Structure 1
Amino acid sequence: MTYLPQENRYDAMIYKRCGKWGLKLPAISLGLWHNFGGIDNFENGRAILHRAFDLGITHFDLANNYGPPPGSAEENFGKILKQDFSAYRDELIISSKAGYFMWPGPYGEWGTRKYVLASLDQSLKRMGLEYVDIFYSHRPDPNTPLEETMMALDRAVRSGKALYVGISNYPANMAKEASQILKELGTPCLIHQPKYSMFERWVEGGLLDVLEEEGIGCIPFSPLAQGLLTNKYLNGIPEGSRATREVFLKKEDVESAHDKIVMLNEIAQNRGQSLAQMALAWILKDKRITSVLIGASSVKQIDDNVATLKNIDFAGDELNAIDKIIR
């Protein structure tokens, strides 16, 4: 069946500029880290992407290693893009990254020019694209000069294979240095993608200040702490959850956070929101945040997450109560 997006898809979404730059991203973006790989249901992923675009989510975020197996999320996305979104390519922001392990040998991961540019070529081939809108260094490389990695990002733009570049998982001092190198090269850093949630607040220790000073946008990933900040674990650990399989989330993490989750959920209910919606709103309250990156395993989750935007303001007593619980 031919996919036709909703004509009113831009009416309710909020769009924000990336730092000082002109590019706008939807307040909620969709990441394809999970649920779009070769082991997942293809039609379910396709339906999720359709619904996301219908609700004004124009930014789809990938990486070379997303799957499993690695690379399969880009392959599946490329198929869906060709089938359903080819007429809407200019309405989409598509990003990918290079940094984690992709192939054996000394050139298959990290941040060398050799790896970064080869990975970009592979990503474009998998997705059937001539360029990505944003290309990231996925993590800093402790054994490669930062200049080399940033020169590779600069080359990606100058070759026409990326429109903008960003960094991910860089601490504040390295983010500042990377930004300054990219400025000198003439390809400024557009955005930073760090891990950030109510339970993971390291970015508040200097990174957000650096991004504001440098005019760089911020798009946090794992805003729901791998599902902790949802209703999934309010009554224990359900069978089949990530915590039972200890995939990105351990049982002891759930047990130690349980009382906090219950108290946070009470505040969310008083706001007329689910815990997940409040957790997303809590991140979006900061003017330095451009967009928040969600994952989704169902169309309903897309609907629920986008409904967050109906209430992203907090009273002072709400923020104080949340801080008291978290800290």
Structure 2
Amino acid sequence: MKFSGEVPIRRLGPGGPEVPVFALGSWNIWDRMEAAERRALITRAVEVGSAFFDVAYYNMGPHAEASRTDLLFGEALHELGLARSDYRLCGKLWLWEYPATGFAGQMDESLERIARGGAEVGSFDTVVVGDFMSDIDIAQVVRDVQAEIDRGSFASWGVNNWPAESLQLALDTAAGEGLTPPSFAQLKYGIARRSMAEGEFYGRWFREGALALQASDAFEGGILVGKLSPNRKIGADVGGIRARIVAAYPRVAEIARSFGATPAQLGLAFCLANPATANVLFGASSVRQFDDNLGAISLLDAVGADAIRESVAELWLDREVRADGVWAPA
């Protein structure tokens, strides 16, 4: 399906910014393109009102890659001469070496690396705190996040795949100490993986409006758009269901064809069909791919949320994976 017009806006949770429903992620994206392609993709995102970019320095834990993706993004911003008001930025705070590597240092390094390309962005609009580590002092994380908000590094924050009890502690700490609570959760969410976002823990927060959902990894590293043997690093296989997801792809493609849509459009429309979803984060690496993804908005408008969800009901493949974020068999 084709898309025309402007990308819709939703609020990224209570206290969070208004953002387009689609965001472009940075993990191994900007370094998969040539400079002209990077500029063209960012320009297209600005044109359709979807200039929301997840940008991070991948340098800790399993992400200790010394990636240049953030440097290349900063160069593209500078080359395009965009004003800071033309786009929104979501940064990352890593817990892998925290508290030895504090949040202030991480923020300074991330902003300096983007600026190294010539783009003086000043601050992020929001950040995601992750990946979760079991020995972290959650209450202190909330206090240290507040210190960065007070310092002007960003204005709101969310969490990435945190266990439910840890997120509850963060919410309770913020309420008890008058601090800024997380406004959204970035979770693995898509046609095949739904348990965490739709289960009793996060699902309750979403239904109550305490948090918004930022859906990530909706394509399972490309598998659900037909790249059945990804040759690049992709997200963790929570619950060990990836082989089943590969086997499900032909059915995904068949359902998409029945709507006159592509598998990518079906996957993104499914995410947006959940009213808790404020934003979907994906990794388009060309204008053509990005434009195809935009067609998900037209698909959802044409078919409706109920029909989209009913069409893929059989493909919820992680029903037996615990929904509290602990990631163990039920």
Q: TM-score, normalised by structure 1?
A: 0.82
What is the letter of the counterpart of residue 201 of structure 1? Answer: R
Counterparts of residues 161-240 of structure 1 (less than 5 Å) = 161-183=153-175, 184-203=177-196, 204-205=198-199, 206-213=201-208, 215-233=210-228, 237=229
Counterpart of 1:227, as a letter, is G
Q: How big is the alpha-carbon RMSD for the aligned residues of Structure 1 and Structure 2?
A: 2.8
2:131 to 124, 132, 139: 139
CA distance in 2, matches of 1:228, 1:166: 27
**Alignment CA distance shift 1:254-1:154 (3 Å):** closer
Paired positions, count: 300
Q: Are 2:11 and 1:17 equivalent residues in the alignment? A: yes
Which residue is 2:245 aligned to?
A: 257
Question: What does residue 3 of structure 1 align with?
Answer: none
How many percent identity over aligned positions?
A: 22
Q: Deviations over 1:119-144 (max 9, x none)?
A: 11100111123211112212223222
SS at match of 2:58: coil
Higher deviation after alignment, 297-306 or 170-179: 170-179
Alignment of 1:57-206 (within 5 A): 57-65=50-58, 69-87=65-83, 89-99=84-94, 109-112=96-99, 114-128=101-115, 129-183=121-175, 184-203=177-196, 204-205=198-199, 206=201
Range moving further from structure 2, 68-77 or 271-280: 68-77
How many Å separate the matches in 2 of 1:301 and 1:315?
23
Q: CA 1:113–1:56 in structure 2 vs 1: closer, same or farther (change >3 Å)?
A: farther
CA contact (8 A) 1:267 1:318 kept: no
CA distance in 1, matches of 2:136, 2:305: 46
Match of 1:302 in 2: 290
Counterpart CA distance in 2 for 1:21 and 1:163 is 9
Whether the aligned pair in 1 keeps the contact of 2:94 and 2:130 (CA below 8 Å) is yes
1:319 aligns to 2:314 (yes or no) = no
2:39 is matched with which residue? 46
Moved beyond 6 Å, runs of 4+: none
Distance across 1 between alignment mates of 2:266 and 2:216: 16
Q: Cα deviations across residues 210-231 of structure 1 (Å, max 9, x unaligned)?
A: 2443622211111111111113
SS at match of 1:219: strand
Q: Deviations over 1:239-269 (max 9, x none)?
A: xxx2xx363389x977543442112221111
Structure 2 stretches of 5 or more lacking a match? 116-120, 318-330
